[in-house]
Amino acid sequence: MERVVITGMGTVNPLGLTVEASWKSAIHGVSGVGPITLFDPAALNVHFAAEVKGFEPDRYMDPKEARRRDRFEQLGAAAAKEAVASSGLEVTEANSGRIGVLVSSAIGGLKSLQDAVLTNYTEGPRRVSPFLIPMLMPNGAAGMIAIDYQIKGPCFSVASACSSGADGIGTALLMLKAGMIDAALAGAAEMTICPVGVAAFDRIGAMSRRNDDYSMTPQPFDKNRDGLVMGEGAAVLVLETESHAKRRGANILAELAGYGATSDAYHVTAPHENGTGGAAAIRMALDSAKATVDDLGYINAHGTATQLNDQSETRAVKAAFGEKAYQIPISSTKSMTGHMMGATGALEAIFCVQAVRQGILPPTIHYETPDPECDLDYIPNEAREKKIDLALSNAFGFGGHNAVLAIRKYS
């Protein structure tokens, strides 16, 4: 069966507007968290988030088109533009049906929906935008990217909460291996930093409320962690079969070697306390990559900084690897990017590509006080130089969704 390789990457996120800028910030431990500026949060319990800074949609698309797109779709288009340009992939009439677009979103255009509901009640239904449906539907980013590049192969969005981006990439991997397509744009886009989004996640007790001093927030795996910080952004990878990439002389960045997906079937928001579902997905990803724990050099953790998630994920890694779990470097880059919901898994896959290419493992910043329940090697506060051949990216979502990607150094 054909190998699947990564030939292009693009992102806009709280650490930067390109892959290079984002990676530089990540390995230097830069925090993307700051005060909410997208709206006035005074009436809410949470006043800070990880926003994309300096994003100007008109740099990536026609201004008229930008006004017809929700912000998550704008972010997705920007990430796709960098990914396609960096890959050198050309879409033609002859090959467009053999290329897919699997750009996911957990929630879709939440802000557009929120604003439309308010407009409907304050100004009447005739004032609701005729573009509302394409602005709010979770597959909106995928559909608009397909239109932008005239890609006519499979085009859809996977919705599996915080696992959406990883599941979209994993689904593309399976389609490529099955011979359904030769190439794909895969990833995710998300923007939930709006009053209803912040209020909703706060109401379920998932968010940190350190409004007076969030300089050390979030704190994944730290004993004093008190919840996630909401983020926004998008990340897209160009995936190809190895033979297709070689035929066109593409620069191959890494191999997408494996994918595992399971369900806890336990609770609508909480992960199973013992981490068995996550462990099963980890083992599945390694098995599909034809690898063992001895090949593994790094795990980019889901690491949301909620009490239960970090405990459960630690137990999942231990359940998968036993005593060898203590020898594997692990970090949560959400300590810097915040939680970009469905898009985070796609960005973290990019960070894994960079780690295997450059031999640098990004840190978990804000780590101060060890937690006896979270006692693995979380690469505290400073990046670590280490040559590795294989990395895993964990993405565990509300509803018990577990997705794990295996990324291998290409040779």
DSSP 235-267: EEEEEEEHHHHHHTT----EEEEEEEEEE--S-
Looking at residue 169, what is its pLDDT?
98
Instruction: Let me know: does 333 contact 351? Beta carbons within 8 Å.
Output: yes
Looking at residue 5, what is its pLDDT?
98
Query: Same CATH fold, 260-408 and 4-247?
Result: yes
Q: Residues of 155-183 as b/e, b for ≥16 C-beta within 10 angstroms?
A: bbbbbbbbbbbbbbbbbbbebbbeeebbb
Concatenate the DSSP letters of all residues of 143-171 into one string: HHHHHHHT--S-B----BTBTHHHHHHHH
Residues in Cβ contact with 392 at an 8 Å cutoff, skipping those fewer than 6 apart: 282, 285, 286, 296, 298, 299, 300, 352, 404, 405, 406, 407
Given a cut of 70, the residues of the chain with pLDDT beneath it are: none
Rounded Cα–Cα distance for residues 38 and 139 (Å): 23
The first and second tokens of residue 108, run together, are 């879709």
Looking at residue 296, what is its pLDDT?
98
Looking at residue 50, what is its pLDDT?
98
CATH of span 4-247? 3.40.47.10
Looking at residue 170, what is its pLDDT?
98
Looking at residue 269, what is its pLDDT?
81
Looking at residue 42, what is its pLDDT?
97
Looking at residue 272, what is its pLDDT?
85
Looking at residue 1, what is its pLDDT?
82
Residues in Cβ contact with 65 at an 8 Å cutoff, skipping those fewer than 6 apart: none
Active site members: 162, 302, 339
Query: 260-408 has which fold?
Result: Peroxisomal Thiolase; Chain A, domain 1 (3.40.47)
Looking at residue 271, what is its pLDDT?
86
> pTM above the 0.95 mark?
yes
Rounded Cα–Cα distance for residues 13 and 33 (Å): 11
Neighbours of 237 (CB within 10 A): 32
The residues spanned by each domain of the chain are 4-247, 260-408
